[in-house]
A and B are shown apart, each in its own frame.
Chain A
Amino acid sequence: MAAQQGDRSALNQLLEQHYDRIYAVCRRLAGNDADASDATQEALLAIVRGLDKFDGRARFSTWSYRVATNACLDELRRRGRRPTPGLPEHETHDQAPQAGAPGVADTVADRLDLDAALAELPEEFRAPVVLRDQVGMDYAEIAETLSIPAGTVRSRIARGRARLAQTLLDSGNQDPPDQRRTEQP
């Protein structure tokens, strides 16, 4: 891979290509823009510093998300705290609401609720849920990324989603499509 051979242009292209998804992972894990920014920076640094360890057996995207996820988690652990839900994500002003789509207020409220709900989720549940639902990794990839068995991934995703559902229902802003019910444990 050219980037591994010191091709700065290739490395730049690689980082540009994967930046948004790496940022998205860190944003979901961190819960606010400020921590997400720092975590993303650490993630990118971890990727470039560890580039020579990429052996091509996995897809680069999988490898980079693994490195990024762990770098983000390490950064958040260094801060010694759970993610703190902050202001809504960076709003892009060129995104006009579409007809029938939730209004901006609803969207912001949803994001605040989601950030808060994710923040209440212990890291061991939050990371697998984010990797599955935000990144779209399968259980095997999540298992490799987090160094846990695949069975544990399934269990943690299940429990993580259940806790999220409970938190969102308690906050009164989760409105599932066809029903609204209190979780029966």
Chain B
Amino acid sequence: MTSSDSFDRDELIAAYLDGEATLAERAQVEADPDLVERAELMRSVADMVAQPVNPAPAALRSAHIAAALEASSTTPVVTSLQAAKQRRRVDFTKVLGAAAAGLLVLFAGVAVLSSGNDGDDTATETSDQGTEETESFDFDTEEGVGGEDELSATEMPEAEGAEEEASDAEAVMEAPQAEADMGEADMAEDASDSTSAESSRGGLDGLFLDTAVIVVPTSDAFLDEVGRLVRDESGDGSSDDSGESIDVTEALCIEELLQYAGQDEIVAAGFAIIGGNNLEFVVVATDQGSVVITADAATCALENRRILNP
């Protein structure tokens, strides 16, 4: 029997055992004692694989299900960017304190070393560098992250970028799990790109936009929540009240979203995670009503365009 014959024979037997064989194939197997014998061997193998698996321990089962329920985030959670920024400012202050303490220790250490080496100007250089970094931190703290005078990522000192990431990580710890999935640090890295996009958006200045992180499990819930957000915010014209201009610099797909929006007025924007997919969205005011436009955050491809429920 050739190898090919063997495969054909086993395929025939597999179909026979699994109820996938035709009548002719069944008859063929049952008429051949060798095939019947082989089928019995394969059946015993199948029976072995089919043996019931002992259930997972109750504690493990409970933990698995609890974690899954937690991840489902059945209640939409909205975290305003402003609140997140506020947290970052607080966290950043703590980081600054630690950084300043570290610099003092470093300065003291270098000073001790340099006291035994009069010709070495390392301490002076380090001191100057430390001062520059501290000034940069103070500047950013005063202006706030994401403010109109925000430093672009390329202007930020390397150490500051690292601190910003650390600060983001802390914010993420406080925010829903899905927010971590969005990779805010990655967004910060791309800030320079989106800053250029911001400069080209022109007409968006002065319009209301409260970027939010929305974590919802279903599309309908997403739309409901966006609709609520838009209704709430449009009711009091909070653009002017909050004094917060549109901050699209954190949207990686802003150029595409602006393109999808066309000439329509953008009234809201944000990030959403729906069914495990990272999305960015804008809500635009059209003659037909508010329309939410979503884009895949990874590819920036248009994902959906739907009219919000009134």
Task: Please report A residues at the B interface, Cβ cutoff 8 Å.
Answer: 4-8, 11-12, 15-16, 19-20, 23-24, 27-28, 36-37, 40-41, 44-53, 89-92, 110-111, 114, 118, 129-130, 132-134, 136, 138-139, 154-155, 157-159, 161-162, 164-165, 168, 174-179, 181, 183-185
Contacts and interface: CB of A to CB of B under 8 A. Distances in A.
Interface residues of B, number: 49
Given A48-B69, A52-B219, A176-B44, A158 B55 contact: no
B45 interface: yes
B285 interface: no
A138 B41 contact: no
B69 A161 contact: no
B218 A51 contact: yes
Given A5-B218, A5-B220, A159 B71 contact: no
B40 A139 contact: no
Contact of A161 (B10, B20, B60): B10
Interface of B: 1, 3, 6-7, 10-11, 13-15, 18-20, 37, 40-42, 44-57, 60-61, 64-65, 67-69, 71-72, 74-75, 217-221, 274-276
B69 A154 contact: no
Contacts of B75: 6
Contacts of A133: 46-47, 49-50
Q: Which of B7, B52, B65 has the most CB of A within 10 A?
A: B65
A37 B54 contact: no
B276 A46 contact: yes
8 contacts: A19-B56, A48-B72, A49-B72, A49-B275, A154-B14, A168-B45, A168-B48, A175-B44
Contacts, number: 165
A127 B79 CA distance: 42
B305 to A, nearest CB: 17
A11 B53 contact: no
B115 to A, nearest CB: 53
B41 A12 contact: no
The B interface, classified by DSSP as helix, strand, loop or mixed, is helix
A175 B41 CA distance: 9
B55 A90 contact: yes
Contacts of A129: 46, 49
A111 B7 CA distance: 27
Given A44-B64, A114-B48, A138-B18, A155 B7 contact: yes
B76 to A, nearest CB: 8
A120 B220 CA distance: 45
A114 B49 contact: yes
Contact of B14 (A47, A158, A174): A158
